[in-house]
Structure 1
């Protein structure tokens, strides 16, 4: 019931819309980083790794933006002390899992960059590689959510809508090849 009390459809839709736009901006940042890739290739980097400097720059920009916003929220809510008020073991656990999440998140773009090195520039698969990656993110995160029982307590109708949405997402990913 507490979750229902905090439900705000308008805010949720705005966050989803902003997340979609920012995701597209991330991809635009990677595309704008092509001169970095060309410079890396000119310096002798293997084709497999040439887009990684741009990926690092874009993710670093995202990190700085998020860090500044988090620090702003900490100041506004006077919650800086929350980091040290927890047991040391919990703090270390949180930091380790935070770092692990960051490494895993970055590795998806590492994989995307490596995968793109095998495709011809302008090919259908190259054009849709970003949408395929985002579809995989949504699919796997929701499947893990189901496995870890994060969807526990929702109605059967909600589960069926989720599953149908995932099936449509997976199907649409394969449709681009036809």
Structure 2
């Protein structure tokens, strides 16, 4: 393990990122008289371009030189992973619309967690897989990821129980367009495609090595920023093209100067959503260096924390009101398993 690693600090950073992922959607509730594509474009511009580039240029003084010297195939890989995430991210809001904040984020983030945690080490093969299965720290980290996935399953079971217990009228009191079947299909697509974000963020080792070695060198904490802007750039292209297409198709391009709409506050709240959303992946890349050889577990912690906090938020918003004791027990078990997973993730690296 890196001598400077500090696993508890890494877990805390990932957890803060998970909180950001759970609440980023809330500022959209303050947007008025704009079509979805209009405020989503502002969110994407802020969260995928303006904020990450501003942060990267501030913290990584050699970023432009690094991107110029980095292997083109690695940059393309990271960019395409971001584009794949963009396809999944476009349907993230639709998933929440059909399932609600609590259940929607649980299912989407759950699938993203499973694929994004276990597949990258398998793609690397060799030493990465060996460290994951043959060392004490790797085994505990792997157990943490599996327990996180089990916790997600319990939350999903709670959602299925909720589907069977509540009348359509009761479901739609908290989620106006609740539709479990549509939401499940969207969640499958969105969750699996969104896991490509993990592949991209962990797929730029040469870029990060250049950030550390090229003068003036970037510190280890911020060495992931050049990778982050490339991945998010891929996501922005997909989101922007789709939103602009809808602006033309739905004749909503005038929203940005629309009379009778609070244009200024809409820009602010959509931008804040982008800032909050981007924060989770900034936390992921800055928390990684603290985890040493078990940095891959960060994705499970990030997604697990996002699910945990989204359920708390869902409870506060009344999305689980009126459900049975069985459903509540399943939900509680899922949240408890997610908490245990985070603890194990912090303990694993200390085993060496």
TM-score by length of 1: 0.79
**1:102, 1:168 → 2: CA distance?**
30
Higher helix share: 2
1:81-119 Cα shifts (integer Å, max 9, x gaps): 34443535x221121111111112112211221111122
1:117 counterpart SS class: helix
More displaced, 7-16 or 31-40?
7-16
1:114-173 Cα shifts (integer Å, max 9, x gaps): 11112212x2xx2211011011112223323433x2527x42339725444333333344
How far does residue 37 in structure 1 lie from its aligned partner after superposition? 0.8
Change (3 A) 1:32 1:127: closer
How far does residue 45 in structure 1 lie from its aligned partner after superposition? 0.9
CA contact (8 A) 2:308 2:335 kept: yes
Contiguous gaps of at least 5 residues in structure 2 = 1-168
User: 2:322 pairs with 155, 158, 170, which one?
Assistant: 155
Q: Which residue of 1 aligns with 2:263?
A: 91
Cα RMSD, aligned residues only: 2.8
Structure showing greater relative contact order (alpha-carbon pairs closer than 8 Å, 6 or more residues apart): 2
TM-score by length of 2: 0.43
Contiguous gaps of at least 5 residues in structure 1 = none
**1:86, 1:145 → 2: CA distance?**
34
CA contact (8 A) 2:224 2:285 kept: yes
User: 2:277 pairs with 100, 105, 118, which one?
Assistant: 105
User: 1:114 pairs with 274, 286, 290, which one?
Assistant: 286
The answer to whether structure 1 residue 144 and structure 2 residue 313 are counterparts is yes
**1:13, 1:62 → 2: CA distance?**
23
Alignment of 1:125-136 (within 5 A): 126-136=295-305
More displaced, 129-138 or 164-173?
164-173
**1:68, 1:117 → 2: CA distance?**
34
- Number of equivalenced pairs: 172
1:155 counterpart SS class: coil
CA contact (8 A) 2:207 2:226 kept: yes
How far does residue 36 in structure 1 lie from its aligned partner after superposition? 1.5
Alignment of 1:48-67 (within 5 A): 48-67=221-240
Change (3 A) 1:165 1:42: same
Change (3 A) 1:86 1:165: farther
Q: Which residue of 2 aligns with 1:171?
A: 340
**2:244, 2:336 → 1: CA distance?**
39
Change (3 A) 1:75 1:157: farther
CA contact (8 A) 2:212 2:218 kept: yes
